Amino acid sequence: MKFSRLKLLGFKSFTDPVELVMEPGLTGIVGPNGCGKSNLVEALRWVMGESSYKAMRASGMDDVIFSGSGNRPARNSAEVTVVLDNTDRTAPQQFNTADTLEISRRIEREQGSVYKLNGRDVRARDVQLLFADASTGAHSPALVRQGQIGELIAAKPTQRRALLEEAAGISGLYSRRHEAELR
């Protein structure tokens, strides 16, 4: 499974539709301070099911919606889509149904988020589990936030363990066990 495209509409500073093609190999994003580099990485984290608005450097989840700038009016919704190339058929079992997996998350002001997987409505949970099982979850060590290296050095052992569990691909199992215990 590989990330192949990221599409944004109205997410943070990206009011116009933007499509980022992720070619095989290394992709670098360069630009001046405040141009939206971190916002792009946050869009990826968000579409993978991030539930913490703080992880979006926001004071509420609606803050990910473009709030207007200069002469551009604020929007009432934001949408991010990630396209995964699954031609190697390595997606977690229950999602391993197609060569391409397209996951989208849309938020409307004061309405919360809805998710779709290849056009079908799914729960946030389904999307979170897909990525947790693939060891690329929103909290995965594969996504390193600005400032995170410093935090990692100062982290408590339990926090460090959570990262190791995600790296080992077992955080999906833990989260299913937690869900089963609540029933």
Closest residue to Mg ion in the complex (CB): 38
Structure tokens at 75: 């929007």
Amino acid at residue number 73? P
- Return the number of the residue (146 or 148) whose C-beta is nearest Mg ion: 146
Residues near ligand ATP (CB under 6 A) are 12-13, 31, 33-39, 63, 65-67, 69, 146
Crossing angle for the helix pair 171-182 and 157-167, to the nearest 10 degrees: 110
Whose Cβ is closer to ligand ATP: residue 68's or residue 96's?
Answer: 68
* Nearest distance from C-beta of residue 154 to ligand ATP, angstroms: 21
Burial of 59 (0-12, 13-18, 19+ CB in 10 A): exposed
Cα distances (angstroms) measured from residue 20 to each of 5, 59, 66, 92, 137: 6, 27, 18, 24, 20
Q: Does 77 bind Mg ion (CB under 5 A)?
A: no
Report, in Å, the least distance between residue 4 CB and ligand ATP: 22
Contact 41, 97 (CB under 8 A): no
Are 122 and 116 contacting, i.e. CB atoms less than 8 angstroms apart?
A: yes
77 binds, among Mg ion, ligand ATP, none (CB under 5 to 8 A by kind): none
Partnered with residue 115 across adjacent β-strands are: 105, 122
Near Mg ion by CB under 5 A: residue from 3, 13, 38, 85: 38
The residue among 35 and 164 lying less far from ligand ATP, judged by its C-beta, is: 35
Site for Mg ion in 119-158 (CB under 5 A): 146
Interface with Mg ion, residue 13, by CB under 5 A: no
Closer to Mg ion by CB, 37 or 116: give it.
Answer: 37
Question: CB under 5 to 8 A by kind: which of Mg ion, ligand ATP, none does 70 bind?
Answer: none
Would you say 145 or 177 has its CB closer to Mg ion? Answer: 145
Region label for 4, one of left (φ > 0), alpha (ψ between -120 and 50) or beta (otherwise): alpha
Taking alpha carbons only, the member of 15, 80, 17 closest to residue 43 is 80
- Binding-site members are 32-39
- Binding-site members for ATP are 32-39
